[in-house]
Chains A and B, each alone.
Chain A
Amino acid sequence: MKKILQYSCLSLCLFTVGLALGAVAHAQTPAPAAAAPAAAAPAPTLAPADAQLKDAAGKAPATADLAKGDPGGTITGTINDVPAADTKAGVTLPDVANQVGQNKIAVNFVWTLVTGFLVMFMQAGFAMVESGLCRAKNANHTYMMNFFVYTCGLFSYWILGFAIQMGGTAGNSNLGGLQSLTGEHSLTLFGKAWGVFASAGMLLSGHTYDVGVMVIFLFEMVFMDTALTIVTGACAERWKFLAFTVSSIIMGAITYPLYGNWAWGGGWLSQLGTNTGLGKGYCDFAGSGVVHAVGGITALAVCMIIGPRIGKYNRDGSSNPILGHDVSAVLIGCFILAFGWFGFNPGSTLGASANGNLRIGTIAVDTMLAGCTGTLGAILYMWSLKGKPDYSMSGNGLLAGLVAITAPSGFVNTAGACIIGLVAGVLVCLSCAFFENTLKVDDPVGAISVHGTNGLWGVLSVGLFADGTSNYGGSWNGVTGNVTGLFYGDASQLVAQLVGISTLIGVVFSISLVINLAIEFFVGHRVSAETELAGLDIPEMGQLGYPEFVFRPEPVMSAA
């Protein structure tokens, strides 16, 4: 019976992949050429534009008409709502053009801010998932880490992190130019200038007291905070609150912004296309690498330093499952995260009104599909191989699919998104088992696998599945053309992505490890064994997460 189930699952997976590949092949078929336009009709003789505007003003509904109400919305929003520079002359063509420009920026501001608010709400999802997967005796501590990491991250990003990451990104026309951000510092090597870090915008002072800069700050800040909160899950149930605070401040100020600059702030990874001819440079649309892999890899570094929880491993090296206390928190948290991801990925266009930005619909659908196939991959894997559709791995499968599609979401079609998500769902199960059983790294929530492993997979998948149809203003990272992966004809894009992966594993991990070893020296990452056994709620936070519950330690294993 089990074999039949396994074969059924396998068949379904193959069927899905087959469908997806079919769709890819279909997507590769060139679209039929557009019908030749009919012979251009002679342009009608137009009245001068200003005369037309005056005519429109004359026909616009009067105040008396508006006073009657507009249930159909047909007379609200007319030429009367366009401000005129000279009220005596009335609305002129330059007034209309200025209003159109401001409308474009306004739409983009609102879009970027609202999607940023969605990403901010993901903190609630992370808190629920992480706390639900921990034991009840540590619930308050885990929730508090997720709560306080927002403050630590936001503040450190304001005083320093934003300047390092985005202080040299002038020229973003979606948000009005951001012309005050011109502080990128470069290193000249082999005759080429490579951006290393930026410096404009510390404390958002001076010229960076600017409406556009505020929008990009908010959006980038909530992304940074997502990376920080990944570490709190992996190190839960034994991380000293003081060490967590110091570590989060430094990560928000230095580690995350550095890689963020290299990828998004005009730094050397984004220059791989212009300086070395590798595709369109390193491409990470919404942050599989910048946000999730940085968070997951830092979590791995801290987990190695902090060690496994007491009772996780036996003398023979075998591991014991330590169950979470709240299934509902975990699964509702996953849904909140999936909802927030609609801010994460589509919001990364940084606008809804500009060249190529109407692709936000495709990005949102790609995001949904990858989450769906990620869940499917994890559930089918666990069900067919372990016998039960495990809830924690199902939730992690959803998140893994979402993490993996984050980088490629702006560049792939729906079939590619399905494959990326499906692979991520299986990969997270394999990765969790590898870290737990082979490396003996204790990660209570699977954050290293969900965000680290699948963050890297997401970065890689851009170099494989980018279909060359996205066009955000005709170029990406300063290289003309569309981002195209190996399966669609550009192997050099894959190399650029591999350079990014190498940097994450080699450099970001090393920086994180050194910083956290210094914190280990000065502060000490781990709580005492006594505190750990009692649960961190009372010793670290002074109050139980569930004060009306009675905790009864139950010796379920011994060292013998």
Chain B
Amino acid sequence: MAASKQQGSYLTLFWTAVTALCAGLAYFAEGFGKLVLVLGLVGVAISLVGFLKIKPMEGKTAGVAGNAVMKLMGLAVALGGWFVTIAGLHITTSVGGRLIFALVGIAVSLVGVIGVLPIAFGKSMAGKAEPSSFVAAKTTLEHSR
């Protein structure tokens, strides 16, 4: 579909609604703050539904869906590594011990981020796409004059 009037309209609504939402939060203590906050939330919801409605008009993209379960697993491993690091701060007070916990935590997070997730998102998706989508990426330029 490319860029369109509908996109522009829903983006305008989204932008306005987010601004209203934040203004509502800023002035929450005052009466009108709560009203503005509710209006903002409603506006955000409508704009998101609008985005969703016009999304299919984009047409077929070259990306692939990937594996949802593996995505969750990758996220869990990435976050799990951070928990290991933080746990280390409270399990031991020695600098060496905390250093080891931090390194192990980073390693675990890396397994999630660069081990599991790239596979979950279809690491070599380009190689599995339709042949027609492999038309050259390169273009050459010629000056018209």
Interface residues of A (CB under 8 A from B): 135-137, 155-156, 159-160, 163, 190, 202-203, 205-206, 238, 240-242, 245-246, 249, 253, 272, 276-278, 300, 304-317, 320, 322-323, 325, 439-442, 491-492, 494-495, 498-499, 501-503, 505-507, 509-510, 513-514, 517, 521-533, 535, 539-542, 546, 548-560
Contact = CB atoms under 8 A, between A and B. Distances in A.
Interface size class of B (residues with CB under 8 A): 35 or more
Most chain B C-beta atoms within 10 Å of own C-beta, residue among A306, A311, A526, A557: A311
B51 A491 contact: no
8 contacts: A313-B126, A440-B123, A509-B109, A524-B61, A528-B58, A556-B138, A557-B136, A559-B129
Contact of B126 (A300, A312, A517): A312
A439 B127 contact: no
A245 B3 CA distance: 12
Contacts of A277: 93
Most chain B C-beta atoms within 10 Å of own C-beta, residue among A495, A503, A509, A553: A495
B22 A203 contact: yes
A312 B106 CA distance: 30
A499 B83 CA distance: 10
B113 interface: yes
A136 B2 CA distance: 18
A266 to B, nearest CB: 19
B78 A558 contact: no
B69 interface: no
Given A502-B82, A529-B133, A542-B3, A523 B51 contact: yes
B131 to A, nearest CB: 4
A531 B134 CA distance: 14
A448 to B, nearest CB: 11
A557 B105 CA distance: 43
Contacts of B103: 498
B41 interface: no
B56 to A, nearest CB: 9
A308 B139 contact: no
Counting from the closest, the 3 A-B pairs by CB-CB distance are A311-B137, A506-B82, A539-B2
A322 B1 CA distance: 25
A527 B137 CA distance: 15
B78 A505 contact: yes
Nearest to B23: A203
A535 B121 contact: no
Given A506-B109, A509-B113, A528 B60 contact: yes
A312 to B, nearest CB: 6
Contact of A494 (B99, B126, B131): B99
Contacts of B38: none
Given A502-B85, A540-B3, A136 B78 contact: no
B134 A557 contact: yes
A176 to B, nearest CB: 23
B63 A307 contact: yes
B109 A505 contact: yes
Contact of A550 (B7, B83, B142): B142
Given A311-B138, A550-B143, 11 more contacts: A202-B25, A203-B23, A307-B64, A312-B137, A495-B98, A502-B105, A506-B85, A527-B58, A528-B2, A531-B2, A546-B141
Nearest to A317: B124
Contacts of B18: 156, 159, 249, 253
Interface in B73-116: 75, 78-83, 85-86, 89-90, 93, 95-96, 98-99, 102-103, 105-106, 109-110, 112-114
Contact of B59 (A203, A300, A528, A550): A528
Most chain B C-beta atoms within 10 Å of own C-beta, residue among A272, A277, A315: A315
A187 to B, nearest CB: 12
The interface residues of chain B, by DSSP majority, are classed as helix
Contacts of A203: 22-23, 26
B141 A522 contact: no
B14 A498 contact: no
A525 to B, nearest CB: 8
B7 to A, nearest CB: 5
A441 B117 CA distance: 11
A501 B102 CA distance: 9
Contacts of B128: 315
A440 B118 contact: yes
A506 B81 contact: yes
Nearest to A314: B127
A533 B135 contact: yes
Nearest to A548: B144
Given A310-B135, A522-B51, A541-B3, A549 B141 contact: yes
Most chain B C-beta atoms within 10 Å of own C-beta, residue among A240, A253, A525, A532: A240
Contact of A502 (B109, B126, B133): B109
B92 to A, nearest CB: 11
Most chain A C-beta atoms within 10 Å of own C-beta, residue among B90, B96, B136: B136
Contact of B60 (A308, A315, A323, A529): A529
Contacts of B11: 242, 245-246
B17 to A, nearest CB: 11
B113 A315 contact: no
Contacts of A492: 95, 98
B99 A491 contact: yes
Nearest to B143: A549
Given A240-B58, A499-B89, A310 B110 contact: no
Contact of B137 (A320, A498, A530): A320
A345 to B, nearest CB: 26
B133 to A, nearest CB: 5
Nearest to A557: B136
B25 to A, nearest CB: 6
Nearest to B138: A556
B138 A323 contact: yes
Contacts of B75: 510, 513-514
A506 B79 contact: yes
B126 A205 contact: no
B3 A304 contact: no
A441 to B, nearest CB: 7
